[in-house]
Structure 1
Amino acid sequence: MMGENRARVVALVVAVVVVVVGVAGNVAAAQAAVTVADLQRVAGSLQMYVDALPQMAKIRGYGFQRGQAVPINLTIGMYQKTWKFHRDLPATPVFVYGQCPDSATFPGPTIMARHDVPLFVRWENHLPASHILPWDPTVPTAIPKNGGVPTVVHLHGSAHPPQSDGSAFAWFTAGFAEKGPAWTQATYRYPNVQPPGNLWYHDHALGLTRANLLAGLLGAYVIEKPEVDTPMDLPCDDDDLHLVIADRSFNVDGSLYMNSTGVAPNIHPQWAPEYFGEAITVNGKAWPFLVVHRRRYRLRILNASNARYFNVSLSNGLPIHVVGSDASYLSAPVTVSNLLLSPAEIFDVVVDFSQSPTAEIELLNSAPYPFPTGAAPGPLNGKVMKFIVQPNGPLDPPDNSTVPDHEVPYASVTALPPTTMTRYIVMYEYLTPTGQSTHLYINGLRLEDPVTETPKSGTTELWQVINLTGDNHPLHIHLGMFQAVKMQQLVNLQAFTDCMTAVNDAVKCNVDQHAVGPVVPVPDHEKTWKNVIKVPPGFVTSVILDHEDNAMIRPLKLLA
């Protein structure tokens, strides 16, 4: 704890803008006082495992000419509609992506792209004049002059031109009536030049990311490369599923709950640093079930929660074979009994249900909230979904899938390559004298301050990410991928934190004398090119780069 200046950050991963999850909503939509007990009562009234797990529609992001994959244009809109999160819950107003209002879903459709085949997407805003959730104008926020809900889409984990990145300042309202200062074009170009893997797309409007994601503006995106994918013989077709996990709280009328009073309301009337929902949804259903057969399944698991970490495991001890992490395969599969996912993190896994000793398996969650020192999950948020294992029928095709012995050679950095620059990225959270969060900065700088990170294209840099907060935080950088190579605990943390608060210079504060604590190995199933890494509190994490809302976002300029 630092009194007024305790450091604490939420970062994301991959190159051009470092972002922290946003906070927003509609001030006019202030809610009556709602207690945690009220929210738990609503969530507790929902019987678990009565709704089947839906799968989102898949949109092919390429065409065919003479047997070759070719670029195409897609139009995807953002709409307000209602969504049934549970059999016994009234329909919920949401914001969702889709090619038309009728087909729009929570989460949005899964876009299936092809490696090295560009995809052009025109993102259209068809949202109403007012937000369905509260928002706070006292944090840096996109506020149009003539009303409307600002949006902009970021493809998380993608290597693409900056003009297609979805900068927080590139927002636009319905019909492009108003545009942010960084708006450039209505159609984004995604070159899909990176290796095959899992990404996701989501809203990224300044100050509204938190509310817009909570409302439902998110969806999965996959880059396929048959030359790499097919030889692995991983489960495919109906045995290849997405699990998009997100916590949500609901009011009695079925509407989404978001706090209307902030933790420091005399400073920020609505803003709160973290959102923890009482119900756990998967693919837009609260505690769903999935009928599986005794065969292998590929599960692409995305944590789309605003702040909640998930430490998932299978209730009968069935092993989880990790084959990919974020936007890359691993060099070889890693078998684990549990899997820790930060917000915005994706793991690609295989589960062999033919080996299940039980007919029913719960997917459980044991991650404290906030992570890692908060409250243990309870009977509601400690459960995610259920698998019901059925025997194979006489007409079921044989399972010829495998968990391969090896995958891709480029995944893990085995030796640190020569670096042209070492940078220090420090996460701060500023508190009131009573310990309430007021704002979050990276390197003590605001988003609108001049650019300080200017890596040169074609070079390799080493970034030392320092977390001076009490929480574990995910780190994300736009326009590229990176890899964690070392995590080391800081010693004499308070002295270092006090110095950093005063001078904001890791070298002057002798970081090398503090970064001498125990080294925590990077987990084997995270040794690959990542979009998100977890930065433990009181640690310095070394990140190698190969070329959000309350002010926790900084620009990055890539030099030619």
Structure 2
Amino acid sequence: MVSLEREKVMSELLFVVLFGGVFLAATWAEEGLLNPEKLEMFVDELQDMPKVQGFEVVDGVPRPRRLEIGMYPIRWKFHRDLPPTPVFAYGTSRSTATVPGPTIEALHGIDTHVTWLNYLPQKHILPWDPTIPTAIPSDRKGIPTVVHLHGANNASYPYPSGDPVNEANGNVMKFIIDREPELDTSRIPKKLMRYPSPDSSSASRTRHIAMFEYTSPVDEPTHLYLNGKPYSYPATETPRAGTSEVWYVINLTDDNHPLHIHLGLFKVLDQTEIKDLDEFKDCMVKINDAERCHLSRHAIGKKVDVRTHENGWKNVYKMMPGYVTKILVRFAYIHVNSSYIFDATAEPGYVYHCHILDHEDNVMMRPLKFIN
């Protein structure tokens, strides 16, 4: 058993977090590999997954709560006509582990502390690449795991030049609306939270974050780095809690990368095309210094406006290929304009990374170390 991570979950409103499981294998021994076209669609009801309350109520007052959620090997039935399939699943016990995992319900301002426990076997049932640094457990035993939350979208993959969503991969769920109405006791608040406007003059530091992709001799992609450094290198981004910074994110790859900064909310200020991109990229590959490669001379192309629905404080934003995206990062609570109520400098620290899972695994992620 390995205790992987302790997370402090705080939300600005009541929120629901959904943990997914890992689909490992599905075969019919008598027929070989599964042919999904033979399965009838929409024959299984949407399951009601278990809920875990992330707070306690003592004398009518909500209090912080500590949870333990484990990762277990179980068998899960994904379709009426399929046999149970080996999976790795989340749950408060093996008997209650599900795919997706339990929903954690939390309250704004009330801490939820989660200890993740690894009950997975010593050997994976599928092959995995042990050369990826982040896939190697510290004791070099057991199955490496990453606790992560992901949503879904209908964008091309990889975005924006990848394969589009089609009939073969786009129909995954069907909703049938019951004619019998249910009582909805929820209420829309009279007043929504107002966030402050960004003020770049308050930034304590400016940084350049370059996105690199590397290929094999036959031009096959092998891995991706931020600022030309692997995840295992010491942290070079060391912000002070309670401050703001301006980051120029330089995307030198052919893909759109959704950048996610842990503990930081940011506002996109500007998106500018890089002129003579190959010339600038060659310089960056050689010396990896945006100022010495004269970024200001190249970031003079067309500007792209931020879409209205993206024009707010974000924790994930898609960095366009061949563009410099200027963002104002706030390492503090936005809604009250104050620093964190916990020690952000505590180990093991935080990270920033591309939010495409196989990109961060290969290894488009860097440590983020807060200092006093």
Correspondence 1:142 to 2:136:
yes
The C-alpha deviation readout for 1:311-360, integer Å capped at 9, x for no partner, is 3xxxxxxxxxxxxxxxxxxxxxxxxxxxxxxxxxxxxxxxxxxxxxxxxx
1:527 to 307, 311, 316: 311
SS at match of 2:284: helix
1:510 to 284, 288, 294: 294
The C-alpha deviation readout for 1:272-316, integer Å capped at 9, x for no partner, is xxxxxxxxxxxxxxxxxxxxxxxxxxxxxx22xxxxxx23xxxxx
2:79 to 61, 76, 86: 86
CA–CA distance in structure 2, aligned partners of residues 414 and 459 of structure 1: 13
Partner amino acid for 2:223? H
Query: What residue number does 1:486 align with?
Result: 270
Query: What residue number does 2:354 align with?
Result: none
How far is the alpha carbon of 1:457 from its aligned partner?
2.1
Identity %: 47
2:193 to 382, 405, 408: 408
Distance 1:490 1:553, change over 3 A: same
CA–CA distance in structure 2, aligned partners of residues 108 and 376 of structure 1: 28
Distance 1:502 1:83, change over 3 A: same
8 Å contact from structure 1 (residues 371, 471) kept in 2 = yes
8 Å contact from structure 1 (residues 43, 380) kept in 2 = no
CA–CA distance in structure 2, aligned partners of residues 51 and 30 of structure 1: 19
8 Å contact from structure 1 (residues 425, 442) kept in 2 = yes
Distance 1:116 1:30, change over 3 A: closer
8 Å contact from structure 1 (residues 370, 471) kept in 2 = yes
Correspondence 1:473 to 2:285:
no
Q: Quote the RMSD (CA, aligned, Å).
A: 2.9
Correspondence 1:549 to 2:361:
yes
CA–CA distance in structure 1, aligned partners of residues 132 and 237 of structure 2: 23
SS at match of 2:214: strand
8 Å contact from structure 1 (residues 486, 542) kept in 2 = yes
The C-alpha deviation readout for 1:514-552, integer Å capped at 9, x for no partner, is 222222222222233323211121111122211132332
Distance 1:145 1:424, change over 3 A: closer
CA–CA distance in structure 2, aligned partners of residues 406 and 515 of structure 1: 41
2:42 to 35, 43, 49: 49
8 Å contact from structure 2 (residues 25, 85) kept in 1 = no
Partner amino acid for 2:307? P
How far is the alpha carbon of 1:146 from its aligned partner?
6.6
Query: What residue number does 1:283 align with?
Result: none
Any unmatched runs of 5+ in structure 2? 1-21, 332-359
Distance 1:82 1:490, change over 3 A: same
Query: What residue number does 1:98 align with?
Result: 91
Partner amino acid for 2:217? P
CA–CA distance in structure 1, aligned partners of residues 69 and 166 of structure 2: 38
CA–CA distance in structure 2, aligned partners of residues 400 and 90 of structure 1: 40
CA–CA distance in structure 2, aligned partners of residues 390 and 511 of structure 1: 57
SS at match of 1:500: helix
CA–CA distance in structure 2, aligned partners of residues 559 and 112 of structure 1: 31
Query: What residue number does 1:208 align with?
Result: none
CA–CA distance in structure 2, aligned partners of residues 481 and 441 of structure 1: 22
SS at match of 2:306: coil
Correspondence 1:426 to 2:193:
no
SS at match of 1:501: helix
How far is the alpha carbon of 1:506 from its aligned partner?
1.0
8 Å contact from structure 1 (residues 30, 134) kept in 2 = no
Query: What residue number does 1:68 align with?
Result: 61
SS at match of 1:76: strand
How far is the alpha carbon of 1:145 from its aligned partner?
5.1
Query: What residue number does 1:383 align with?
Result: 171
Greater relative contact order (CA < 8 Å, ≥ 6 in sequence): 1
SS at match of 2:104: strand
CA–CA distance in structure 1, aligned partners of residues 257 and 272 of structure 2: 15
Distance 1:471 1:43, change over 3 A: farther
Any unmatched runs of 5+ in structure 1? 1-24, 33-37, 154-201, 203-217, 219-243, 245-301, 304-309, 312-366
How far is the alpha carbon of 1:387 from its aligned partner?
2.4
CA–CA distance in structure 2, aligned partners of residues 557 and 146 of structure 1: 25
8 Å contact from structure 1 (residues 80, 95) kept in 2 = yes
8 Å contact from structure 1 (residues 144, 150) kept in 2 = no
1:158-557 alignment to 2 at 5 Å?
202=148, 302-303=151-152, 310-311=153-154, 367-393=155-181, 396-397=182-183, 407-410=192-195, 413=197, 415-547=199-331, 548-557=360-369
Distance 1:126 1:400, change over 3 A: closer
CA–CA distance in structure 1, aligned partners of residues 81 and 215 of structure 2: 41
> How many residue pairs get matched?
317
CA–CA distance in structure 2, aligned partners of residues 499 and 105 of structure 1: 50
CA–CA distance in structure 2, aligned partners of residues 90 and 137 of structure 1: 30
CA–CA distance in structure 2, aligned partners of residues 493 and 473 of structure 1: 17
SS at match of 2:309: helix
How far is the alpha carbon of 1:389 from its aligned partner?
3.1
How far is the alpha carbon of 1:144 from its aligned partner?
5.7
The C-alpha deviation readout for 1:142-191, integer Å capped at 9, x for no partner, is 246573223464xxxxxxxxxxxxxxxxxxxxxxxxxxxxxxxxxxxxxx
Partner amino acid for 1:88? D
CA–CA distance in structure 2, aligned partners of residues 30 and 401 of structure 1: 40
8 Å contact from structure 1 (residues 455, 557) kept in 2 = yes
